[in-house]
Chains A and B, each alone.
Chain A
Amino acid sequence: MSGENDGILTGAHFLDGDHACAEGAIAAGCNFVAGYPITPSTEVVERLAWRFPSTGGTFIQMEDEIASSIAIQGAVWAGAKAMTVSSGPGISLMMEHIGLAAMAEVPCVFVNVQRGGPSTGLPTLPAQADMMQARWGSHGDYEVIALVPNSPQECFDLIIHAFNLSEQYRVPVLFMMDEVIGHMTEKVVVPPRDQIKVTPRRYTKLPPGEYEPYRAGDDLVPDFAKAGDGHRFHITGLTHNERGYPVMNAECQEQLVCRLVDKIRNNVEQISFFHEDDLADADVVVVTYGISSRVSMRAIREARKKGIKVGHLRLVVVWPFPEEYIRRLAKRIEAFVVPEINLGQVVLEVERCTAGACDVISIQHAGGAVHRPQTIYDAIVEAVR
């Protein structure tokens, strides 16, 4: 631990994904975490409970996930950078507060180390079956951002990106790890402080009396003010006007909800983040995210050796979905192959955007393990036959 570097552990380490996520959060400036123990995410909060006192952060173990998911929002309004960490059943309990964070525009991060479901499911084994829940889990129309890392290094790098996006767009960001990534130990390089890009919160420059908490400019993202600074603002989960006051009518509802959705939808290209590999001549594109991308690499390599023109598109930001990009890609290939550890979730988006322009093959897995590379290889071969 180096105190002169704000507690950032600059250097090379051997860390699992959960611990790397905790270190990344510290590097991102996170100084408040509330959580509740749940496998396979517990190591994230254990590490923060140990590390936070020396980095100036506060960790509190709350009485349940519902409390955790709103304690962090109280902390954000007090000026903290905050996140909570959980898995399947705990994330289900947090859904109402993901909606509150979207509605009240609270920048915060929800880490979901995915495990098999539904219900208690497979606490110690992986799945990617919460992807649609991440997008649609809370009631009403809203948009969030969801990132999916595929290594401990990315757990570190991308949790920083997650905090930055939450500040830039004032949305809850979901960080969709899984049991394998969380418990996989690899080399993690922590850069020096000055090489870590941290987006500061955009506080209002208006004096008390002039500030309105939900008056947004061209980017549709209102400036923030924290409690105690004299603005005497009101924040509610009810439909509200620019002053933050409740207004119960269809006009205000449309104005507010459309802005909440548009501030993300208008920026899909800027938010989108994916890796392309061998797409130039590809007939088949394997669309992956998270741990499934690493299993797919083997299958893709073998297929290329056999002369099959197969490319790899790895989504890092899954929500918002890169619709236009997939739509364009679909017009020049023969098939998408979509392996995911669920019974067909993100593949629905691929199909929707493809709209029949090419084949879409879903490689499903009910959870509890990762795919066998052979299964994906077979699907690639099938796709070009």
Chain B
Amino acid sequence: MSTMPAVENPVERFLRTDRMPHIWCPGCGIGTTVSCFARAVEECVSDLDELIIVSGIGCTGRVAGYLEFDSFHTTHGRAIPFATGLKLANPQLKVVVYSGDGDLIAIGGNHFIHAARRNADITVICVNNFNYAMTGGQIGPTTPLDAVGTTSPYGVCERPFNLPFLAESCGAVYVARWTAYHVRQMTRAMCEAMNKRGFSFVEVITPCPTLYERRNRLGSGLDRMQWFKENSVIKNGVDTRECDIAFQQKIVCGKFVDVDRPSLLEMVEAKMASVLHRRRWERMSREQQKPIAMRPMKG
């Protein structure tokens, strides 16, 4: 019997392999996003020691624990303010918040809008699987109208958030949405988001076959990927007001926002420099404001 030559998984060096197997279900889309993220890091981040991953609580909240960077698994909904403090205290670091829709948008919704408003220098990756999966499939603020969950067995009666619109209207300088099917586009979006100064936001729609797809009779993880392939409409630059997600309707994907606006750190720097005129401040700023070592993505 011939043996295959051993080929190293290209993203393995970014993973804590001593923590495998992971907790995610077969067909779950979170692992796909992690693989894309690792490839984005490989392409775009030059100093891996300066990359910090911050997660909240939930299935996606476990991402921090599987990525081999300095990583923080914080409290439910509070990854963003943790990341804000981390970045302000050491502007040299590249801080990425990686969490789920319930964590970031329900319990953490207030922090999300304020971080976008102040244009905090962080990247937020939101894995949206339309439900609370860790606790067994409850509905959340992104569950489409009429879909069912364990806490809404007759169907959701509330309109969900349109995350790209929410992020843009609050001040995000980069906003993109892709599905787990769009691995190349997702990777590129993560890379672009990390290269951005200020609040950048990437939403990734993923299957949750164990809970959301099963309860709503939408098939397996693979069926769902097929569905994403056939029902995604790529509209780069489209008005984010057109990005609402309705149950089993077309999903608008693309890069919607990519603008430049002074980030929180840049605003603080400019204000202090203009008001204080202190040699001390200038010296301190020089030390703190070394440019972030990043590379543009190839190709």
Contacts and interface: CB of A to CB of B under 8 A. Distances in A.
Interface of A: 3, 31-32, 34, 53-54, 56, 58, 60, 62-64, 66-68, 70-80, 82, 96-97, 100, 226-238, 245-246
B74 A237 contact: yes
A75 B80 CA distance: 12
Interface string B36-78: 0000000000000110101000000000110011111111001
Contacts of A62: 81, 84, 114
Contact of B89 (A75, A100, A232): A75
Q: Which 8 pairs from chain A and chain B are nearest by CB?
A: A74-B85, A71-B85, A74-B86, A67-B81, A75-B89, A78-B89, A236-B73, A78-B90
A72 B65 contact: no
Contact of B110 (A63, A70, A232, A238): A63
B298 interface: no
Interface of B: 16, 19, 49-50, 52, 54, 64-65, 68-75, 78, 80-90, 92-93, 110-111, 114, 268, 272, 275-276, 278, 280-281, 284
A58 B89 contact: yes
Given A34-B85, A231-B70, 10 more contacts: A32-B89, A70-B75, A71-B82, A74-B84, A74-B86, A75-B89, A78-B93, A79-B89, A80-B89, A226-B90
Contact of A78 (B74, B85, B268): B85
Contact of A227 (B80, B86, B88, B276): B86
A235 B85 contact: no
8 contacts: A53-B272, A62-B114, A70-B81, A74-B72, A75-B86, A228-B50, A234-B72, A236-B65
A32 B88 contact: yes
Contacts of B71: 232-235
B85 A232 contact: no
A309 to B, nearest CB: 52
A70 B70 contact: no
Contacts of B78: 66-67, 70, 97
A74 B91 CA distance: 12
A232 to B, nearest CB: 5
A60 B93 contact: no
A66 B114 CA distance: 13
Contacts of B83: 74
Contacts of B272: 53
A66 B81 contact: yes
A128 B16 CA distance: 47
Contacts of B275: 53
A245 B111 contact: no
B84 A71 contact: yes
Contacts of A63: 81, 110-111, 114
A77 B65 contact: no
Contacts of B75: 70, 96-97, 100, 237
B268 to A, nearest CB: 8
A165 B83 CA distance: 25
B85 A230 contact: no
A34 to B, nearest CB: 6
Contact of A53 (B64, B70, B74, B281): B281
Contacts of A78: 85-87, 89-90, 93
Q: Which of A58, A66, A70, A97 has the most CB of B within 10 A?
A: A70
A77 B280 CA distance: 25
A73 B88 CA distance: 12
